[in-house]
Amino acid sequence: PHFTVAQIRQTFLDFFAKRGHTVVASSSLVPANDPTLMFTNSGMVQFKDVFLGTDQRPYKRATSVQTSLRAGGKHNDLENVGYTARHHTFFEMLGNWSFGDYFKKESIQWGWELLTKVFQLPPEKLLATVYFEDDEAYDIWTKIIGLPPERVIRIGDNKGGRYKSDNFWMMADTGPCGPSSEIFYDHGPHIAGGPPGSPDEDGDRFIEIWNHVFMQFDMQEDGSVKPLPAPCVDTGMGLERIAAILQGVHSNYEIDLFAALIQAAARETHTSDLHNPSLKVIADHIRATAFLVADGVIPSNEGRGYVQRRIIRRAIRHGYKLGQKTPFFHKLVPDLVAQMGEAYPKLREQQQRITETLKAEEERFFETLANGMEILDEALSGNRQQLAGDIAFKLHDTYGFPLDLTQDVCRERHVSVDADGFEAAMNRQKEQARAAGKFKMERALEYTGAATAFTGYHSIQEQATVL
């Protein structure tokens, strides 16, 4: 059956509500009082203290649709956007939780029931992974669910770092964590990619749709683990990924909601090829940046605000690539509100503020973007393999190009960026600024000191540094 995004949200929540789960609203993208985390990257974040036992709730089972952001921090998918069919920076995560109540068996059984009975996915297209030592989960999949053993894959702890997957989920470097079991959907042999645990697992044929984490530990700063007060369940399913399957498309970017945003991006950038990857980036980034503004994050030069700025500027640069020379990005806000305003009224309420914030950032960046791109194009002309750190730094310092934006451009042209050189240039400048600050202070003292009169700047250059 075909499900719209709105129907999937509701069906998921209803399914778990019927099984004794309290429906909890999505929390903000900015985690409350948690310095270990830049952004809410999954549904469990608002329950972190419940897992740790330092917060109590009136329920032992919960379900939610959580807005999540994976840009900056431990889970970072910024570099995947525009390149894979399945990654966004901002996405919605469907989840169900047990706080010391049910454990692996119920979690896996309900997951299977929802996918195969309610959503009616063909069981033969589903695979599961388990943590390599987790015989209990392995047995549930093979004996209770009846999945053939060749479709239940044990995934190592990845100590050797051979492949990407490790089936041990951690919210951040510290905090709740545990072994996991993931459900994958096979989109078919016409798409490149291997099954989980194989060398080409990064392809988009076998797409992970639902992670069931069996939370049992609290990771400490020194890498040791403490057991949680009680074993818990934490699951997360990407709304856009399950929507793609239920709408009979391969990529997240082809689902109803994204098709509309990509149309809007095409309209504002006058692009006729709807498959142009820059449109995906713009469609993804309008969601991330609008929700960030709605949750109080405005562009700035540090912390969360700098991630916000980086995402906006990346989107603008992709628009520029498509020929835009003036602000266009904020014009997608009404389209976003049309798609998501009903589920997230804060978008409607803050539509004007969101639009103005994005527009101001656009106007600012368009002042330097063209000149910066000229310098970058010039530097990349010829047969270069690597962009010098000095140039990347100059682009950053004078033209407002975040390093990742420069890297994004270079990657399109198969050129790497000397990130160490960038860092060194940055440190040199900081050093100079410190010296200049000292100089300024000495001069200030000269002003106040009666004995020595200010004699003026010694050179234009010196003056420039002081100012």
Residues that bind ligand ATP (CB under 6 A): 42, 70, 77, 86-88, 91, 93, 208-211, 236-238, 240-241
Closest CB to ligand ATP among residues 241, 317: 241
90 and 144 in contact (C-beta within 8 Å)? no
Residue whose beta carbon is closest to ligand ATP: 238
Closest CB to Mg ion among residues 66, 350: 66
Structure tokens at 137: 């989960």
Structure tokens at 315: 């989107």
Backbone φ and ψ for 95, nearest 5 degrees, come out as: -150, 155
Task: State how far the Cα of 251 lies from the Cα of 240, in Å rounded to an integer.
Answer: 9
Q: Which amino acid is at 18?
A: K
How far apart are CB 232 and ligand ATP at their closest, in Å? 16
How far apart are CB 196 and Mg ion at their closest, in Å? 8
Closest CB to ligand ATP among residues 93, 376: 93
Angle at 356 between CA 353 and CA 361, to 5 degrees: 125
Closest CB to Mg ion among residues 208, 295: 208
92 and 12 in contact (C-beta within 8 Å)? no
Which of Mg ion, ligand ATP, none sits in contact with 93, Cβ below 5 to 8 A by type?
A: ligand ATP
Which of Mg ion, ligand ATP, none sits in contact with 91, Cβ below 5 to 8 A by type?
A: ligand ATP
Q: Is 222 exposed, middle or buried (0-12, 13-18, 19+ CB in 10 A)?
A: exposed
Residue whose beta carbon is closest to Mg ion: 211
Closest CB to ligand ATP among residues 201, 361: 201
Q: What is the dihedral of CA 268, 271, 273, 274, to 10 degrees?
A: -10
Strands 168-170 and 152-155 come out as unpaired
Task: State how far the Cα of 102 lies from the Cα of 214, in Å rounded to an integer.
Answer: 10
Closest CB to ligand ATP among residues 46, 350: 46
Half-sphere exposure of 293 (CA within 13 A, CB side): 26
Half-sphere exposure of 191 (CA within 13 A, CB side): 20
How far apart are CB 159 and ligand ATP at their closest, in Å? 18
Which secondary structure element, helix H or strand E, spans residue 307, and what is its range?
helix 303-321
How far apart are CB 75 and Mg ion at their closest, in Å? 6
How far apart are CB 90 and Mg ion at their closest, in Å? 14
155 and 165 in contact (C-beta within 8 Å)? yes
282 and 269 in contact (C-beta within 8 Å)? yes
Which of ligand ATP, Mg ion, none sits in contact with 287, Cβ below 5 to 8 A by type?
A: none
How far apart are CB 238 and Mg ion at their closest, in Å? 9
Closest CB to ligand ATP among residues 203, 229: 203
Which of ligand ATP, Mg ion, none sits in contact with 350, Cβ below 5 to 8 A by type?
A: none
What would the x/- binding string for Mg ion be over residues 208 to 227, using CB under 5 A?
x--x----------------
How far apart are CB 5 and ligand ATP at their closest, in Å? 13
How far apart are CB 385 and ligand ATP at their closest, in Å? 29
Closest CB to ligand ATP among residues 181, 350: 181
Task: State how far the Cα of 400 lies from the Cα of 366, in Å rounded to an integer.
Answer: 10
The answer to the question of residue 201 lying near Mg ion (CB under 5 A) is no
Which of Mg ion, ligand ATP, none sits in contact with 295, Cβ below 5 to 8 A by type?
A: none
Number of residues that bind Mg ion (CB under 5 A): 2
Strands 90-98 and 61-69 come out as antiparallel
Q: Which residues bind Mg ion (CB under 5 A)?
A: 208, 211
